[in-house]
Structure 1
Amino acid sequence: MKKVLVLGGGFAGVDAATHLRKRGYDVTLVSDRDYFYIYPTSIWVPTGEASFDDVKVSLEELRDAHGFTLLVDGVGTIEAKANRVTLASGKVIDDYDYLVVALGAHKMKHPGIEHTLSICGDPRESLRIKERIDALVAKGSGKVAFGFGGNPKDTSAVRGGPGFELFFNLHELLKKKGVRDRFELTFFAPMPKPGARMGDQALSMMDTMFARADLNKHFGKKIKRFEEDGVVFEDESKLESDFTMFIPAGDGHGVIKASDLPTSEAGFVTVNDYSEVVIDGEVSNVYAAGDVAALEGPEWRAKQGHVAEVMAKNIAFNIAARDAGKAERKGYQEHLNILCVMDTGSGAGFVFRDDKKAFMMPMPILGHWMKKGWGWYCRNSKLGKVPRLPGL
């Protein structure tokens, strides 16, 4: 039985391990956390609508459900040409036949970033955001600034959706507490039209939603630095804030940048359509999926969980086809689209975009519960308790 080493316990890593096991491979999964974190539903942890345990799944449970070997450890170095991975503990793994890299991304570093918290960062930051929100609610008033940044070297590495979702959920929470009129809520971003990748209709709907909820916008100015009491922009203007939530754009993972893997200008692993890594002109035994990979495609492309899942499933198929001597391969390009249910706390908007169309459909009330249902589905389908949706 051939051995596959999977690095990373997120959407790409867990799905790669799961699908490879279904195809009979001996799989070892390495993760620096002992749980799989459901980032899309973590937006409810800061508002108290979900607990931290609600949005994580034990990797031991996933191991028991699917039969892979689990190592809870960090990754120290990757030497692809030498077929060797050294873990943070010092353990060396060099007996694998295939390597699947799914480590995710690191974040862009902004001066003063320590004065912010991110809903897309370390999972436990969601609990710290909750503490800050609870403190402001107890105080009864305040100025709050939420935002996200960009990576000029890779437009696919921007992740603003969760910021918008948490922003609207905070608005709803303050309404329920009866203190919304005592808070100044501002959303900021360096680009003139944040969310433009969703399409013109979505942008128009977002403008309407901001106006109806009396939410402020501060767009089109580059961020110079963060301070304890606000955000300073390139023209030295300042957005005052008692609490700043900021999602930096993704950047190449430090371990990847230090490895001998081929990378894009932004430090992401370069792959072909089949998620194969080409080294020295030859298709290697290394594959990459999810945020760690450099996605090719249209300007609006985005690194999302469902794309990571497709890449992971394709990798399992492609490895099996390769071992069987078959020429057929499956690629991720045909599956590139933006697909999400953007929760607002009182409803949601269904967002879809591909090369042919782009739209956002409002789903009052029902949309919120649809996303709740998706969270249940995500947890239980990963554990094999309910069937996966077709294509996944």
Structure 2
Amino acid sequence: MAKIVILGGGYAGMMAATHLEQLGESFTLVNAHEYHYLTTLLHEAAGGRSDVHNYCIPIRDILTKRTSELVVDKVKTINRENRTVTLENGELSYDYLVYAIGWVPEFFGIPGLAEYSLGIRDLESAKEIRQHIEERFKKYKETQDSRDLRIVVGGAGLTGIELLGELMEFLPQLCQQLDIDFSLVDVQCIEAMPSILPQVAPPLRDVAAKTLTDKGAKLRIGIKILKVEPNKVILEGADPVEASTIIWTGGVRANPLLQELGFTCDRRGRAKVTPYLQSVDDERIFIGGDSAWCDDEQGRPLPPTAQVATQMGTTIAKNLHALVHGHKEEMKSFRPSLKGTLASLGREVGVGDMGGIPVRGMVASLAKEATKVKYLWELGGMRLTAEKTQQVVQL
């Protein structure tokens, strides 16, 4: 029996694991935690919508068959010649490997950004952001220091804008609880590019911008961050901004392990894959999610999104199953079905497109909620969906 090891319990890794279970394959899943967390919803936790633990699912609630084994550990290195994975607390051998460890923040070489900013990377970092904001607002009651009521969000892509939407609903409630005048709160989103939300059509960007500015947010577009110091953001062509809360959402790159191991990678550290999602450097290693450099039919790299990652996981499982059983000719090229992009701007408002059809307002918000239910269904069927919908979706 072939030894299959999956590295990473994110969207690609978990979808590969789920489908491998359905196909009757035995495997070992290595993940840093006992749970799978919903990365695309962490802005809700960071922005105060609900407790962070509502955004995670125990992996053993997803993988229920005895053919699968969960190892809670972190990957240190991979020896492709010997087909071994070295963990912090042991070693695993493999015949076939699925690499889906995921991403790390991209700081674009901006001095001080990594050291002096917060980021939405996982459950703990999302929790840290919310607690940090609450603590600074409470401190303002003692010091009357305006910096404690100023929040800078770096980056106006999907994560930054969705976080902004959550903050502009959460902060008025927090001010009411602490008896702080909300008009004193200063929330700024700083973006170097000439527009927000490049993933959606320009008219929808305008809708998103108006929605957020009407709630009190400031969108500072076309301004570069040059440097970050403790509680200070240095800008190009503008006065520095002093703020006690600085959050960076401006980009991601693949885990550096791929480049360290000599895989063929793009400028974001993603490893080049074949149409079957195998590494171009090693056919026994499949790569998915934010770790994969995969081109579409026009030769353009696919975006590192959850919908692409989940579809990669499904394809990897099916191709790996075929390869393990000597049916290489049955392997299928990865052909993603992109359903569009939806951005929430709070609980009840959003923008985006569904299959090329622009949507806004409550319709977009409901569509976004529907994608959560769809993912839970794909991950664990009726059982998991029924158990988790109330907790994860109706927050």
The TM tier, using the shorter chain, reads 0.7 to 0.9
Q: Check conservation: 1:41, 1:375, Cα contact below 8 A.
A: no
TM-score normalized with structure 2 length: 0.83
Alignment of 1:103 onto 2:98: no
Name the structure with the higher helix share.
Answer: 2
AA partner of residue 96 (structure 2): Y
Q: C-alpha offsets along residues 147-183 of structure 1, whole Å, 9 cap, x if unaligned?
A: 228xxxxxxxxxx312211211111123334443121
1:143 aligned to which of 150, 154, 159: 150
Aligned length: 367
Query: 2: distance between equivalents of 1:384 and 1:59?
Result: 14
1:174 aligned to which of 171, 176, 179: 171
Q: Check conservation: 2:151, 2:246, Cα contact below 8 A.
A: yes
Q: 1:349 to 1:49 in 2, by over 3 A?
A: closer
Alignment of 1:195 onto 2:193: no
Alignment of 1:299-314 (within 5 A): 301-314=302-315
Q: Offset of 1:32 from its aligned partner?
A: 1.4
Q: Offset of 1:186 from its aligned partner?
A: 0.9
* Percent of matched pairs sharing the same residue: 23
Q: 1:125 to 1:193 in 2, by over 3 A?
A: same
Alignment of 1:111-260 (within 5 A): 111-112=111-112, 113-119=114-120, 121-138=121-138, 139=140, 142-148=149-155, 160-176=157-173, 177-178=175-176, 179-235=181-237, 237-260=239-262
Q: Offset of 1:35 from its aligned partner?
A: 1.3
Q: Offset of 1:257 from its aligned partner?
A: 1.5
Q: C-alpha offsets along residues 76-107 of structure 1, whole Å, 9 cap, x if unaligned?
A: 11122432221122x2222x221110010222
Query: 1: distance between equivalents of 2:294 and 2:223?
Result: 27
AA partner of residue 274 (structure 1): Y
Q: C-alpha offsets along residues 189-240 of structure 1, whole Å, 9 cap, x if unaligned?
A: 2212232232222222223223422321222233222122231124474223
Q: Check conservation: 1:80, 1:261, Cα contact below 8 A.
A: no
Q: Check conservation: 1:6, 1:27, Cα contact below 8 A.
A: yes
Q: 1:51 to 1:16 in 2, by over 3 A?
A: same
Query: 1: distance between equivalents of 2:218 and 2:28?
Result: 48
Q: 1:343 to 1:12 in 2, by over 3 A?
A: same
Q: 1:191 to 1:243 in 2, by over 3 A?
A: same
Q: Check conservation: 2:344, 2:364, Cα contact below 8 A.
A: yes
Query: 1: distance between equivalents of 2:348 and 2:255?
Result: 35
Aligned to 2:36: 36
Query: 2: distance between equivalents of 1:346 and 1:16?
Result: 31
Partner of 1:44: helix, strand, or coil?
A: helix
AA partner of residue 76 (structure 1): K
Q: 1:344 to 1:67 in 2, by over 3 A?
A: farther
Q: Offset of 1:368 from its aligned partner?
A: 4.7
The CA RMSD measured in Å over matched residues stands at: 2.7
Alignment of 1:287-306 (within 5 A): 287-297=286-296, 301-306=302-307
Aligned to 2:393: none
Query: 2: distance between equivalents of 1:333 and 1:218?
Result: 37
Partner of 1:64: helix, strand, or coil?
A: coil
Please say which of residues 312-321 and 247-256 is displaced more in the overlay.
247-256
Q: Offset of 1:259 from its aligned partner?
A: 1.0
Q: 1:373 to 1:65 in 2, by over 3 A?
A: farther
Query: 1: distance between equivalents of 2:354 and 2:226?
Result: 32
Q: 1:253 to 1:14 in 2, by over 3 A?
A: same
AA partner of residue 122 (structure 1): D
Query: 2: distance between equivalents of 1:278 and 1:315?
Result: 14
AA partner of residue 295 (structure 1): C
Partner of 2:64: helix, strand, or coil?
A: helix
Q: 1:273 to 1:374 in 2, by over 3 A?
A: same
Q: C-alpha offsets along residues 10-40 of structure 1, whole Å, 9 cap, x if unaligned?
A: 1111111111121121110011122111122
